[in-house]
Amino acid sequence: MARGDRREELLDAAEGVIEEEGVAGLTIDRVAARAGVAKGTVYLYFASKEQLVGALKGRCLEQMTGMVVAALADLESGDWWGTADAVVEAVVDFDLSHRWVIAVMATESGDEESKAVYGEATQQMIGLLEAALRQGAVEGVFEVDDPETTARLLYFALEGTLHHTILYEPEVDRERLVTAAQTLIHRALGDA
Amino acid sequence: MARGDRREELLDAAEGVIEEEGVAGLTIDRVAARAGVAKGTVYLYFASKEQLVGALKGRCLEQMTGMVVAALADLESGDWWGTADAVVEAVVDFDLSHRWVIAVMATESGDEESKAVYGEATQQMIGLLEAALRQGAVEGVFEVDDPETTARLLYFALEGTLHHTILYEPEVDRERLVTAAQTLIHRALGDA
Amino acid sequence: MARGDRREELLDAAEGVIEEEGVAGLTIDRVAARAGVAKGTVYLYFASKEQLVGALKGRCLEQMTGMVVAALADLESGDWWGTADAVVEAVVDFDLSHRWVIAVMATESGDEESKAVYGEATQQMIGLLEAALRQGAVEGVFEVDDPETTARLLYFALEGTLHHTILYEPEVDRERLVTAAQTLIHRALGDA
Amino acid sequence: MARGDRREELLDAAEGVIEEEGVAGLTIDRVAARAGVAKGTVYLYFASKEQLVGALKGRCLEQMTGMVVAALADLESGDWWGTADAVVEAVVDFDLSHRWVIAVMATESGDEESKAVYGEATQQMIGLLEAALRQGAVEGVFEVDDPETTARLLYFALEGTLHHTILYEPEVDRERLVTAAQTLIHRALGDA
DNA sequence: TATGAATGAGTCTTCATTCAT
DNA sequence: TATGAATGAAGACTCATTCAT
């Protein structure tokens, strides 16, 4: 088995454990058991539990970024608002389908390195949105004074709302979430 | 010493521990030591660590609500936008000055009761914002179709941004945060 | 309230606690709560938990002895076997109606003094049986070589069976227990 | 070291602890120390203290059963009373040499499973005695109406006496105990 | 006598991490 | 690479006992 595969398997196992046992139930023991390997083996791929969690966060953000990149490809069609709405939908669905990992994202991870990794990944995500905003402005769809800050704001608005909802409101109403988020963006950017 | 005082002292001690040791470093042992009481004494006021954490969340949210209520009092002056900006500033400052407790807010707390308490307190906070939005609409300052959803959205946008920034960007730029948040609201509500 | 009354109340409370929480659930806290007094008050009547338990055992044995004394009074009627059967029945019923205290009797109570008290009370009980055996022998109902040992043996046979049954066989069949115990005595003494 | 060996070692250590510190002094800490392993190691073999205690009871009863089986083998010699006396002697000696474990047997062990195990093991022991009684009856040594009940009664008579004596009369007189128990059986079964 | 807040030693239990094989 | 038994520090929680009021 390729080294990378085993690593991915372990991360998959970790997600599975969180799904079944909650964030507090994430132990190396369970990850190993779920992946069908010995406990020691986990340490062959991750130096510590903290690094495993960091990797989990990183991978999650990467996947999300990938989805957004894909969704933003439609921007070429010229339908900015339609594309934006689709991106929102994609993000909501991603979070909902990764709801258990989402809980980890909100977790402290003392490890400075992990924090940095997470910070950079977030920044990349925001950069994507910023670019989209600039393009919308260039195309005359709307006006933005400070695309960077606006992108940050919108990203965290969306994620903040999603995180809270996922963590504290068990029965999430997807449609309502999507509509609300889309509305926020339309309003914030001044869609007439 | 009045019974309530000792309880408050313990919560203060818990906040202090989090400030110095991080959320993961919050142990009953340390809370007791910091409060200058025996370990057993903590259990005289909180049935479990989970309940202590829940109480911490509750108190924090209560204080925040209090601040917002105070800030919203200016609404009577008739200057809606000015009041809104002040509220934003108050919230930002509250979060920044309670930054260590903020980290706990994002924490899972298996305890169902605590979750419910937190959920209700959040709802109350949002209710406050909703009322303010309605008043602005009544006064003709702007138009809102769905004050409830908008209030939720704006609240989580603000808090989401603040939480992430506080947790992952050690060197927070208060001015920038305030301005960005104020801008978000103005835009979202369509301030010309 | 007379000193003795309060003491009895505390012992009653202790029995009640055992009934509801099991021997392991017997704590000074609960005894005090059940008796409606403060924890400190318990220590005004018992120097330690161990002494309270010792007193509980002692009182239980005393009550049992009282019952047996009463039952043995019928010996004067001249019906030795009938009286013996009645005594057995009385003991079985006493144990069954005090089943929760019975569990404590089987408990170690490091306190040497308590052990001694228990030992003496037991001895007194056995003395009662021994006297009954002697009387039966005198009356020519049966023959016994060693009344003292026989009394001990029969007492522990009865109590041993009862204790085990009560502790490990939740659904006790009173009739079967009574019959079996009576049979044992008749056989052991050679009733034709 | 084989897995089973370590388990046995831990049980041995537990017995040793009880011997030196009493039942109340049985702690995982001490068991580990006595076995020369880390505390965590104990939990590799027993899920909880309760299970360890249950295992202790189970093993003790198993050993006892083994001894009785061995002693009953002499039944083939045709000397029923002699064999019975030998069995009594074996049981007395077993209890005396395991006197500290005996104290645990009388202990509550909230664990339902442990109780069941203990109950079954006891039943097996009684079954052994019952078979012996039937054989004696078949051989015409004596008559028994209800071998099952009689076996139960005799078993608990023996064990009840032994438990009490061991727990409350530090200076046990082996000979006297043996003789008394043997006498009980002879009488109960009607040895002329 | 009575109170009940405070104590703190003592227990069980978990789990990240190591290391000999 | 892989294993999994062993480790032991750490933490939550209990409860008999004390003592100032």
Domain that holds residue D146: 49-189
Render A103-116 in DSSP notation, one character per residue. Answer: HHHTS----HHHHH
Q: Are residues B156 and B170 in the same domain?
A: yes
User: In this predicted structure, what is the pLDDT of residue C3?
Assistant: 65
Task: For residue C29, give the nearest of B37, D107, B33, B40 by alpha carbon.
Answer: B40
Task: State the average pLDDT over residues B27-41.
Answer: 98
* Predicted local confidence at residue A100, as pLDDT: 84
Residue D192: which pLDDT band, with cuts at 50, 70 and 90?
low
Q: Among A108-112, C100-104, C133-137, whose mean pLDDT is lowest?
A: A108-112
Given a cut of 90, whether residue D135 has pLDDT beyond it is yes
Are A65 and A127 within one domain? Answer: yes
Same domain, D70 and D95: yes
How many domains does one find in chain C? 2
Contacts with A119 from chain B: Cβ below 8 Å:
168-169
The model's pLDDT over B149-178, given as tens digits with 9 standing for 90+, comes to 889 889 988 888 888 888 777 787 899 889
Q: Among residues A110, A89, A101, A116, which one has the least CA distance to residue A181?
A: A89
Residue A106 — very low, low, confident or very high, per pLDDT cuts 50/70/90?
Answer: confident
Q: How large is the average pLDDT for residues C124-128?
A: 93
Q: What is the CATH number of the domain that holds A42?
A: 1.10.10.60
Tell me: the pLDDT tens digits for D138-180?
999 998 888 988 898 899 888 888 888 887 777 878 998 898 8
* D20 and D86 part of one domain: no
Q: Is the pLDDT of residue B1 over 60?
A: no
In the three-class reduction of DSSP (H, G, I as helix; E, B as strand; rest coil), residue A139 is classed as: coil
On chain D, the residues whose CB falls within 8 A of the CB of C108 are 22-24, 103, 167
The one-letter amino acid code at B126 reads: I
Per the listing, tokens 């909703």 go with B130
Q: What percent of chain B has pLDDT over 90?
A: 55
In chain B, pLDDT over 70 holds for what percent of residues? Answer: 96
Same domain, D27 and D59: no
Note whether C12 and C92 are same-domain residues: no
| Contact (CB<8Å) C153/D180 | yes
Measure A34 CA to nearest chain B CA, in Å.
Answer: 23
> Which nucleotides of strand F come closer than 7 angstroms to any CB of the protein?
1-20
Nearest CA-CA distance, residue B123 and chain A, Å: 11
Q: Are residues D68 and D123 in the same domain?
A: yes
* pLDDT value of position B110: 60
Domain CATH code at residue D113: 1.10.357.10
Does residue C175 have a pLDDT over 70? yes
**Better-scored residue on pLDDT, C169 or C56:** C56
- Beta carbons of B70 and B128 less than 8 angstroms apart: no
Tens-digit pLDDT profile for residues A12-40: 999 999 999 988 899 999 999 999 999 99
Claim to verify: residue B26 and residue B89 sit in the same structural domain: no
Statement to judge: residues A71 and A95 lie in one domain? yes
| Nearest to B48, CA basis, from B117, B121, B114, B122 | B114
pLDDT class for B3, splitting at 50, 70, 90?
low
Cα A161 to Cα B126: distance, rounded to the nearest angstrom: 12
- Tens-place pLDDT, residues D24-38: 899 999 999 999 999
D42 lies in the same domain as D54: no
Percent of chain D past pLDDT 90, that is, above it, reads 55
Say whether both C39 and C69 belong to one domain: no
Indicate if C125 and C89 belong to the same structural domain. Answer: yes
Q: Which two tokens stand for residue D20?
A: 């030196």
DSSP symbols for D31-96? HHHHHTS-HHHHHHH-SSHHHHHHHHHHHHHHHHHHHHHHHHGGGGGS-HHHHHHHHHHHHHHHHH
Q: Give residue D99's pLDDT.
A: 84
